[in-house]
Amino acid sequence: MTNQDILLHKTLKDYFGYEQFRPLQKEIITSILNGEDNLVIMPTGGGKSICYQLPAILMDGLTLVISPLIALMKDQVDALNANGIPAAFVNSSQTDLENSSIIERVKSKEIKLLYLAPESLAFFEQLSQVCEISLIAVDEAHCISSWGHDFRPAYTQLSFLKKRLPNTPLVALTATADKATREDIANQLEISNAKRNISSFNRANLSLEVRPAQDRVTQIVDFVKSRPNESGIVYCLSRKQTEQLADRLKKSGFKAAAYHAGLPADVRSKTQENFIHDSTPIICATIAFGMGIDKSNVRWIIHYNLPKNIEGYYQEIGRAGRDGLDSETILFHSYADVIQLRKFAEGSGNEEVQLAKLERMLQYAEATSCRRNILLSYFGETATEKCGNCDVCNHPPTFFDGTVIAQKVLSGIFRLQEKEPLNVVVDFLRGSQNATILDKNYHLLKTYGVAKDIAWKDLQQYMVQIINQGFCEIAFHENNALKLNELSKEVLFNGMKVSLTKPVEFVKADEKTPQKASKPQNNLFERLRVLRLELATAKGVPAYVV
């Protein structure tokens, strides 16, 4: 060990109480101490904070930390002070007097780390006049990029930092950056030559599973029942869902609570505390829950709805199993969610990026190959082997010739003049006598009832597969009516074959028997998937709406 190594280990032990560095921490710290700019990409819980907190202790001047959330700032500052590291924050939630007394303390070199929200950069000028700034850390740096999933306009002002202090090392840290976001961060912060530190995103202890959303409440109740005393989070899209689900779980005898930004602050912090101390082990929450919560024994994460992008999904499942023990994750996938998320994306002001990200999420949810490999390749890692800890590896799909089913479906769409959404087409093909069918006299049309031998849910799933493979399309601007396209004609008139997989029947996790992975018989499915992806990438919009 070099002298520097000994000093680093001693500082780690003395101030943070840890014996060893985690992967990449020492390299990053050493590089910062050498005055280099760094871009740090490390999963949630990987230990990013120490990468700038430890150098801050060893450097002469002040370390400025830019952090997006006031609540997080306060926790971090309290934790640092508890470890004997003088830290403080300035922001708009404090009075001018409080803020100026902190600046006085900075001036007299009492403070080593100062946290600042990007909206409070006005303090920067004052600070740079009264002290030497040794290091700038930009935490949650993906907020600077409109390619990221959590864009904050105030972050874009941060490019002036490098201009003002070109010789001060700057470290940008984030858990959530795909390649495009990563490079955007470096460009915008003007640290294009920064050392890239990208740690592995592989969390092998998390199992990955996607289930169809049918009866998801019952599925969740069963799941929780078979895992007594385990702690977990169910992420829901809406505040109302979090409350309804928490009520349902409580009625079934579980200790559960809802959490969302609409609840009073004291209720939220109480819920958070009860979760951390295991007195309320189950939280039904919107994505407002979790950032900055450091709980190591979360055993499962359920996504009640499809997340809007892979970064968010990865960050949320990453809250399970931080202690390294086996933990489970389940995502419930429904087309209704996709339609809802598309609407959000369209109103977001950043439509193209969000739709493209949603499309990637959808491809993950519908994957017929190892899900972990999809995640890893999304984050720029090349995965080689199948993981053996995802549902696709454990239950590889079996394909069958679904051409006849597809032909029935497509001719049904044709008979309904491409005016009806999925569920009406299903009712029509199954010969349902409900009001919509009878009112519109659909029961008098040809092909009415041609698929009555197929169960409703199965037919619905087949149709989703048919849509996903691009054999027909959803017109999102026409009440989600199904439309025919070029490929539909190939299937109807030119003998193109369609492969389908058996509808997924959900298997309870403990009944799972790992099977040997086998290759799909027909790779048309994969080929079309690639085709759609290429189309989507070329046009910047999801292929299935083109």
E strand intervals along 270-382 = 282-285, 298-303, 327-333
With beta carbons less than 8 A apart as the criterion, state whether 415 and 446 touch: yes
**Selected range binding ligand ADP among 15-23, 355-363, 430-438, 452-460, rule: CB under 6 A:** 15-23
Residue 390 touches Zn ion, criterion: CB under 5 A: yes
Q: Per-residue x/- mask for Zn ion, residues 135 to 154, rule CB under 5 A?
A: --------------------
- Measured CA to CA in angstroms, residue 164 lies from 39, 125, 169, 425 at distances of 19, 10, 12, 62
Listing DSSP states for 284-295 in one string gives EE-TTS-TT---
Give the nearest distance from C-beta 74 to Mg ion in angstroms.
Answer: 14
Among the listed residues 29, 39, 50, 409, the single contact to ligand ADP using CB under 6 A: 50
Give the nearest distance from C-beta 207 to Zn ion in angstroms.
Answer: 9
Residue 18 touches ligand ADP, criterion: CB under 6 A: yes
355-374: contacts with ligand ADP (CB under 6 A)? none
CB burial of residue 229 (10 Å; 0-12, 13-18, 19+)? exposed
Give the single-character DSSP code of 229: T
Residue 137 touches ligand ADP, criterion: CB under 6 A: no
Q: Which is nearer to ligand ADP, 47 or 380 (CB)?
A: 47
The two beta strands, 133-138 and 170-174, are parallel
Residue 312 touches ligand ADP, criterion: CB under 6 A: no
Residue 387's binding partner, choosing from Mg ion, ligand ADP, Zn ion, none, with beta-carbon cut-off 5 to 8 A by kind? Zn ion
Residue 390's binding partner, choosing from Zn ion, Mg ion, ligand ADP, none, with beta-carbon cut-off 5 to 8 A by kind? Zn ion
**Selected range binding ligand ADP among 41-49, 192-200, 392-400, 501-509, rule: CB under 6 A:** 41-49
With beta carbons less than 8 A apart as the criterion, state whether 175 and 54 touch: no
**Selected range binding ligand ADP among 21-29, 236-244, 247-255, 259-267, rule: CB under 6 A:** 21-29
Residue 44 touches ligand ADP, criterion: CB under 6 A: yes
330 Cα distance to chain centroid:
13
Nearest residue to 259 via CA among 224, 295, 288, 218: 288
B/e letters for 111-134, b = 16+ CB within 10 Å, e = fewer, are bbbbbbbbebbebbeebeeebebb
First to last CA, the chain: 60
**Selected range binding ligand ADP among 37-45, 337-345, 522-530, 537-545, rule: CB under 6 A:** 37-45
**Selected range binding Mg ion among 41-49, 164-172, 180-188, 451-459, rule: CB under 5 A:** 41-49
**Selected range binding ligand ADP among 39-47, 94-102, 119-127, 186-194, rule: CB under 6 A:** 39-47
**Selected range binding Zn ion among 172-180, 285-293, 393-401, 532-540, rule: CB under 5 A:** 393-401
With beta carbons less than 8 A apart as the criterion, state whether 370 and 317 touch: no
Residue 47 touches ligand ADP, criterion: CB under 6 A: yes
With beta carbons less than 8 A apart as the criterion, state whether 237 and 304 touch: yes
Q: Per-residue x/- mask for Zn ion, residues 348 to 387, rule CB under 5 A?
A: ----------------------x-x--------------x
CA distance 142 to 360: 18
CA distance 161 to 65: 12
Q: Which is nearer to ligand ADP, 42 or 536 (CB)?
A: 42
Give the nearest distance from C-beta 265 to Mg ion in angstroms.
Answer: 22
With beta carbons less than 8 A apart as the criterion, state whether 334 and 213 touch: yes
Q: Which is nearer to ligand ADP, 11 or 369 (CB)?
A: 11
CA distance 539 to 546: 9
Give the nearest distance from C-beta 228 to ligand ADP in angstroms.
Answer: 27
Total binding residues for ligand ADP by CB under 6 A?
15
Give the single-character DSSP code of 154: G
Look at residue 176 and give its three-state secondary structure. coil
Q: Which is nearer to Mg ion, 72 or 492 (CB)?
A: 72
**Binding footprint of Zn ion on the chain (CB under 5 A):** 370, 372, 387, 390, 393
**Binding footprint of ligand ADP on the chain (CB under 6 A):** 18, 20-22, 25, 42, 44-50, 175, 294
